[in-house]
Amino acid sequence: MIRENRTFEELKVGDCAELKRSCTADDLIVFANASGNHNPMHLPHQDVDGDGKEDEVVAPSMWVGSLISAVLGNILPGPGTLYKHQVFTFKDRAKAGDDLVAKVTVLEKKDDRTVRLGTEVRRVSDDAVLLEGEAEVCAPTAKFQYEEQDLPGLVVQSHRHFDALLERAETLEPISVAVVAPEEANSLGGAILGMKAKLITPILVGQKDKILAAAKELGENLDGVEIIDQINDSAAANAAVDLVAEGRAHALMKGHLHTDVLLHAALRKERGLRIGRRFTHIFVMDVPGVSHPLLVTDAAVNISPDLPTKVDIVQNAIDLAHSLGMDNPKVGVLSAVETVNPSIPSSVDAALLSKMNERGQITGGMVDGPLAMDNAINLAAARIKGIVSPVAGQAEVLVVPDLDAGNMLAKQLTFISGAEAAGIVMGAKVPIILTSRADSDKSRLASCAVALVHQARLMGKI
């Protein structure tokens, strides 16, 4: 964007300009670090009044005031402007999640080449005035034009959504989990981590000598942990499914075996885990800077899903989102475009899924598509494209066209954007936890917590 300032000579009484800005919790964390103001009233996950509930995050008044300086420095008068004086009266409070509009209006041009301006900040949702006052500035005397450059990004490296999920899971009784072939250190370590966090009670199913060798490598003692000895991966997968059929296990966890072997056992006709839907994989992702957990599906099971499979992909994701506390999740069905193009099958499928949601064939959430990635998750991008939708720009679930796209998206978010990811398979009688050797400890714990919270909901415990 090209920016051009307004010199003192060009300014006229009545000239005005405004900027729109969304207030996020991460903005307030950055402001706390920059200003040194660590008042817990302005930070997420704090119970300031001692009522046992985390209070809504209130924006510092001076953060709201700083939006005025952005208008003055960027637009009116623009580059070259210097503050002389500012008076603020704060009428109301902004909170994380609010959309705000900051506005300045030229009130007077003085003989000493200074300018007096009226200043205000309003909340978009109800047009309430949060701040009003006056500024006096030295206006620029020389014309200046420049192409606005984005500053280096600041990302708050916190995973507060998973922190909240783990806190919630800690209030529940651990669930019994059949861990299939945990025969090397990484896969066994994930099960032990979940056990120590009191999220799961593992039953280890596989070759006992290899499981004990893995425990020795980790320096862990498996006393008191049930181990069911099996001769190979296939036998271990079938034995683990038997534990679910017998009611002894309420979830499965993948160990050191191919996913296909585990799912083949789960899909068997006799005493299997089918419930009439296709098995679908969901990444629950905690992406720094995103104000809610982001579900990405399907990224590990269905390679090139047809429309009936995508219906189950969407419905399974909505069901899991309910367990995670999203009462009416917003589902964005992704394509390369945001309009239906018969030459792009994913755009046609997206439109059909959206219509099926309207007709009650997919329930429990709001489904919209086709949406391109930018206008699915970014409100500004959606507005620029003129997309009017309760989903566009604020999707909580992203349904990808195929496994390639889902896997790439999830790994980009993980390794470029600093996200943590929990992996789970839905559509079975019980959740199936899928972890990767590259997963961090937090991701492994979050996978266990997602399974625990979902199964607790299915069993009527939450």
Q: Is the pLDDT of residue 320 over 70?
A: yes
Local confidence band at 49 (pLDDT 50, 70, 90 cut-offs): low
Confidence (pLDDT) at 43: 83
Q: Is the pLDDT of residue 364 over 90?
A: yes
Under CATH, to which class is 2-147 assigned? alpha beta
Lowest mean pLDDT among 111-115, 145-149, 221-225, 301-305: 145-149
What average pLDDT score do residues 135-153 get? 83
CB atoms within 10 A of CB 304: 10
Confidence (pLDDT) at 121: 97
Which residue in 456, 455, 335 sits closest to 395, CA to CA?
Answer: 335
**How is residue 446 annotated by DSSP?**
H
Confidence (pLDDT) at 275: 92
Q: Is the pLDDT of residue 218 over 90?
A: yes
Sign of CA dihedral 288, 294, 300, 306: negative
Confidence (pLDDT) at 183: 94
CA distances from 304 to 301, 372, 403, 406 (A): 9, 19, 7, 11
Concatenating the DSSP letter of every residue in 247-315 gives TS-SEEEE-SS-HHHHHHHHT-STT--B-SS--EEEEEEE-TT-SS-EEEE-SSS-SS--HHHHHHHHH
Q: Which CATH architecture has domain 160-458?
A: 3-Layer(aba) Sandwich (3.40)
Distance CA 45, CA 57 (A): 8
Distance CA 253, CA 188 (A): 10
What average pLDDT score do residues 223-249 get? 95
> Strands 251-254 and 294-297: what pairing?
unpaired
Which residue in 28, 151, 124, 30 sits closest to 383, CA to CA?
Answer: 124
Local confidence band at 224 (pLDDT 50, 70, 90 cut-offs): very high
Local confidence band at 424 (pLDDT 50, 70, 90 cut-offs): very high
Share of the chain above pLDDT 70, in %: 95
Give me 157's structure tokens.
Answer: 């490296």
Distance CA 443, CA 284 (A): 9
Q: Is the pLDDT of residue 154 over 70?
A: no
Give me 349's structure tokens.
Answer: 């499928």
Position with higher pLDDT, 97 vs 138: 138
Give me 416's structure tokens.
Answer: 């470029």
Confidence (pLDDT) at 157: 60
Q: Is the pLDDT of residue 216 over 80?
A: yes
Local confidence band at 291 (pLDDT 50, 70, 90 cut-offs): confident
Which helix (H) or strand (E) segment holds residue 348: the answer is helix 345-358
Confidence (pLDDT) at 306: 96
Which residue in 57, 281, 231 sits closest to 156, CA to CA?
Answer: 57
What average pLDDT score do residues 28-42 get? 89
Place of tokens 């500053």: 151
What average pLDDT score do residues 373-381 get? 90
Give me 261's structure tokens.
Answer: 């072997």
Local confidence band at 48 (pLDDT 50, 70, 90 cut-offs): low
Distance CA 373, CA 356 (A): 21
Q: Is the pLDDT of residue 283 over 80?
A: yes
Confidence (pLDDT) at 344: 96
Where in the chain are the domains? 2-147, 160-458
pLDDT tens digits, residue range 50-100?
665 555 789 999 999 999 999 999 999 999 999 999 999 999 999 988 999
Distance CA 79, CA 69 (A): 11
CA 81: distance to chain centroid? 38
Which residue in 189, 177, 187, 231 sits closest to 451, CA to CA?
Answer: 177
Give me 387's structure tokens.
Answer: 């997309």
